[in-house]
Amino acid sequence: MKIYKYIILAFVLTLAFACDEDLLSETPLDTLSPENSFLKPIDIEAALTPNYQLLRELHNGEDNVLMHSGTDLCMSARDPANSRLGDYRVGLLPSSDTALSFWTRYYKMIANSNVIISRIENIEYTDSAQKQLHLGEAYFFRGYAYRSLGYLYGGVPIVLNEITSPKTNFTRTSKQATLEQAIEDMKFAVTNLPDVTQVLKEGKLNNAAANHLLAELYLATGDNIKSIETASAVINNPAINIMTTRFGNKADEVGDPYWDLFQRNNQNRSAGNNEGILVLQEEFNIPGGTPIISGSDNDFRYERYYGSLYWFLNDPDGNKIFLGATSKNLGRPVGFIRPTPHFTHTIWGWNSDTGTFSQDERNNNRNIQRDWVSDNSSSNYFGQKISDFPQSWFDGLSAQDTLRDYYPNVTKISTPNDHPNEILSNPETGQMANFSGSTVTDWYLIRVAETYLLRAEAHLANGSPDLAAQDINMVRSRSQAPDVSAGDVNINYILDERMRELNYEEDRRLTLARLELVYDRTVLGNPFSGLTIEPFNNLYPIPFSEIQLNSEVVLEQNPEYVN
Partner 1 sequence: MRKIIFKVFLNTTLGKRGLMTIFSLLMLNTVHALKENFIKTDEIKINYNSDESKTPNIRDVQKTVSGVITDESGIPLAGVTIIVKNTKNGTTTDFDGNYTINADSNNILVFSSIGFITKEVSIGNQSQINIQLSEDIAQLDAIVVVGYGTQKRSDVTGSVASANVEAFADQPNTNILQSLQGSVAGLNIGAANSIGDSPSIEVRGRNTFAKDSNGDLQGSNPLIVLDGVIYRGSLADINPADIGTIDVLKDSSSQAIYGSQAANGVILVTTKKGKRGKKPSINFSTYYSFDSPTNRLTPANRDGFINQFQKIFYDTAFIGPDFTQPDPTYNEAGNYPYQSIIDGYNNGTDTNWLDLVTQNAFIRNTNVSVSGSSEKNSYFLSAGHTEQDGYVKNDKYSRMNLRANFENRTRDWLTIGMETALSMGDHSGIKADLRLGNLYSPLIAPYNEDGTLATDPIGVDRNPLLPTEIDQLDKRLNLFGNFHATIKLPVDGLSYKINHGISYRTQRDYRFDPNGNNFTGIASKYNSYTIDRTTDNLLTYIKTFNDKHALDATLLYGYEEREGEDTKANSGSFSNTILGYNSLELGDLNQQLVSSGAWDERSIYQMGRLNYKYNNKYLLTLTVRRDGFSGFGTKTKFGTFPSLALGWTVSEEPFIQKALPWVDNLKLRASYGKTGNRTVGRYDTLAKVNAGFQYVFGNESAYGQFISDLGNDDLGWETTTGLNLGIDFSILQNRFNGSINYYNNTTSDILFAVDLPRITGFEDINTNLGEVDNTGLEVSLSSINIQTEDFAWKSTVNFSTNKNRIASVLGKDDDGDGIEDNLIQNSLFIGESIGAVYDYVDTGKVYQIGDVIPGGYNPGNRIFEDLNGDNVLSDDKDRRILGRTEPAYRFSIFNELSYKNISLSIFLNSVQGGKDGYLGASTPTVSEYRWRHDNASTYNIVNEFRAWSPTDPNAPHAGVRFDDPIQRPNYADRSFIRLQDVRLSYKFPEKLLNNIFINQLRLFATGKNLYTWTNWVGVDPETGAGFNLESAPVMRSFSLGVNLTF
Q: How many residues bind partner 1 (CB under 8 A)?
A: 116
Q: Using CB under 8 A, which residues numbered 532 to 561 contact partner 1?
A: 532, 543-546, 548-552
| Contact positions with partner 1 (CB under 8 A) in 79-98 | 79, 82-83, 87, 89-91, 93-95
Chosen residue from 39, 40, 49, 198 binding partner 1 by CB under 8 A: 49
- Choices 48-56, 174-182, 210-218, 252-260; region in contact with partner 1 by CB under 8 A: 48-56
| Cα 255 to Cα 367: distance, rounded to the nearest angstrom | 9
Interface residue with partner 1 among 126, 127, 166, 254 (CB under 8 A) is 166
User: Is there a contact between 101 and 62 (Cβ–Cβ < 8 Å)?
Assistant: no
Residues 379-438 that bind partner 1 (CB under 8 A): 398-400, 422-425, 433-435
Per CB under 8 A, the list member of 170, 357, 394, 536 interacting with partner 1 is: 170
121 interacts with partner 1 by CB under 8 A:
no
Q: Which of 210, 205, 206, 44 is nearest to 115 (CA)?
A: 44
Determine the Cα–Cα distance for residues 267 and 238; give it in Å rounded to an integer.
18
Contacts 24+ apart (CB under 8 A), 288-295: 288/53, 290/438, 290/440, 292/422, 292/423, 292/435, 293/435, 294/423, 294/435, 294/436, 294/437, 294/438, 295/62, 295/437
- C-beta of 522: minimal distance to partner 1 in Å? 16
Contact 282, 300 (CB under 8 A): yes
Pick 161 or 354: Cβ nearer partner 1: 161
Burial category of 391 from C-beta neighbours within 10 Å (exposed 0-12, middle 13-18, buried 19 and up):
exposed
Whole-angstrom CA distances from 366 to 283, 325, 411, 506 are 24, 18, 7, 20
* Bridge partners for 439 per DSSP: none
Smallest distance from partner 1 to CB 33, Å: 6
Binder among 190, 334, 456, 472 for partner 1 (CB under 8 A): 334
Nearest distance in Å: CB 361, partner 1: 29
Q: Distances in Å between the alpha carbon of 443 and those of 108, 261, 281, 295?
A: 22, 10, 7, 17
Q: Are 75 and 84 in contact (CB under 8 A)?
A: yes
Q: How far apart are CA 442 and CA 281, in angstroms?
A: 5
Rounded to the nearest whole angstrom, what is the least distance from the CB of residue 479 to partner 1 in the complex?
Answer: 28
Give me the 269-308 binding string for partner 1, x by CB under 8 A, dash otherwise: -x----------xxx-xxxxx--xx----x----------
Q: Which residue from 114, 130, 462, 480 is in contact with partner 1, where contact means CB under 8 A? A: 114
Q: According to the binding rule CB under 8 A, does residue 563 interact with partner 1?
A: yes
Q: How far is the CB of 374 from partner 1 (least distance, A)?
A: 14
Q: What is the CA radius of gyration of the chain?
A: 27
Residue 24 contacts partner 1 per CB under 8 A: yes
Whose Cβ is closer to partner 1: residue 333's or residue 408's? 333
Q: From CA 366, how far away is CA 352, in angstroms rounded?
A: 21
Which among 202-210, 220-228, 443-451, 496-504 is the span making contact with partner 1, rule CB under 8 A?
202-210
2: contact with partner 1 by CB under 8 A = yes
Nearer to partner 1 (CB atom), residue 222 or residue 295: 295
User: Is the CB of 27 or the CB of 236 nearer to partner 1?
Assistant: 27
Smallest gap from residue 22 Cβ to partner 1 (A): 8
Residue 353, interface with partner 1 (CB under 8 A)?
no
CB of 76 to partner 1, least distance (A): 10
By CB neighbour count within 10 A (0-12 exposed, 13-18 middle, 19+ buried), where does 169 fall? exposed
Is residue 254 part of the contact set for partner 1 (CB under 8 A)?
Answer: no
Cβ atoms of 536 and 558 closer than 8 Å: yes
In this structure, how many other beta carbons lie within 10 angstroms of the beta carbon of residue 370?
A: 15
78 binds partner 1 (CB under 8 A): yes
Residue closer to partner 1, measured from CB, 314 or 346 = 314
User: Which residues does 115 contact at the CB level (< 8 Å), separation at least 6?
Assistant: 34, 38, 47, 162
Shortest distance in whole angstroms from residue 444 CB to partner 1: 16
Instruction: Write down the least CB distance from residue 125 to partner 1, Å.
Output: 18
Q: Provide the minimum distance between the beta carbon of 139 and partner 1 in the complex, in angstroms, as a whole number.
A: 16
Residues 440-499 that bind partner 1 (CB under 8 A): none
- What's the rounded Cα separation, in Å, for the pair 514 and 216? 9
Least Å distance, CB 19 to partner 1, is: 5
